[in-house]
Copies of this chain bind each other. A is one copy, B any other.
Amino acid sequence: MKNNLFDRFKPKESKFFPLMTGMAQVIVVASDLIIECVQITNHTEAVEYYKKIKEQERKADDIQNQIFEELNETFITPFDREDINHLSSTMDDVMDLINSCAKRIMLYSPKVMPEASLRLAMFVRESAGFLVKAIEELDVLKKNTNRIKEYCEQLGVVEKKADDVYEHFLIDLFENETDAIEVIKLKDILHELERATDAAEAVGKIIKTMIVKYS
C-alpha cells in the first residue's frame, strides 16, 4: 500500500481534515442514537440501540486507523504527527464513552432510566455539534482563530452544565432510591455521559493548545 516516493513528498494535508471531520460526524450520529437509547423501555430495544451505536464506534475506529496509516505514509502533515494523534484519539474517547453508556444500559438492565439521562444525552449531542464545527474549521485555523476558540469554550460550558445535572441526579438518587444496587447501576450508566462531555471538553483544550502552537 506504500505510495511511490513522489506521492509521499506531495503535501496531502487535505486527507487529514476530511478524516477528522468524518470522525466528528460519527460522534454526532452516535449522540443522536444515545438520545433515543436512554428513552428505551425494554431490553430488546436496549440491545438494538447498543448494536447501532457499536457500529458507529467501529466506524470511528476505522477512521482512526486510516489517520494512523496516513501519518505513516505522509511526509508533510498539516500539524505535528503527535498533535493529530492526540486529537483523534481523544475524539475516539468521546465515542468510546457513548458506546460504553449504551453497553451498560443493555448489560445492567436498570429498572427505569431517570430523566437526567435524557438531559445528559442532549448535552453530549450539543458537545458533538461544537466538535464538528471546531474540527471543520481546523484547516483554516489561522483565519478563524477566534471562532474556533469560541467553540472550544462552549465545550467547557456544556461540560459544566452536564456536571451539574449529573451531581443533582446523584443527590436525588441518594435521597430517593433505597435499592443500593440500583444506585450503583444508574450512577455508573449516567457517569459515562458526563464523562463524554469531559472528553469533548478535552478535545477543545487540545485544539486550543494547537491554536497557541500554530497560529
Given contact pairs A82-B209, A89-B205, A107-B171, A181 touches B180 in the complex (Cβ within 8 A): yes
Docked pose: A178 CA to B180 CA in angstroms:
10
Q: Are A81 and B184 interface neighbours, CB within 8 A?
A: no
| A167 within 8 A of partner (CB) | yes
With A181-B180, A184-B187 known as contacts, the answer to whether A212 contacts B72 (CB < 8 A) is yes
- The CA of A107 and the CA of B213, in the complex, are separated in Å by 40
Give the distance in Å from the alpha carbon of A103 to the alpha carbon of B163 in the complex: 11
Least CB distance, A211 to chain B, in whole angstroms: 8
What is the interface of chain A, defined by CB distance below 8 A to chain B? 68, 71-72, 81-82, 85, 89, 103-104, 107-108, 167-168, 170-171, 174, 178, 180-181, 183-185, 187, 205, 208-209, 211-213, 215
Q: How many copies does the complex hold?
A: 3
- Residues of chain B lying within 8 A (CB to CB) of residue A107: 167-168, 170-171
Interface SS of chain A: helix
Distance A82 CA – B178 CA, assembled complex (angstroms): 47
Partner of A183, one of B170, B181, B208: B181
Taking CB atoms, residues of chain B closer than 8 Å to A81 are 209, 212-213
Q: Which 7 A-B pairs have the closest CB atoms?
A: A180-B180, A71-B212, A107-B171, A180-B181, A107-B167, A85-B209, A81-B212
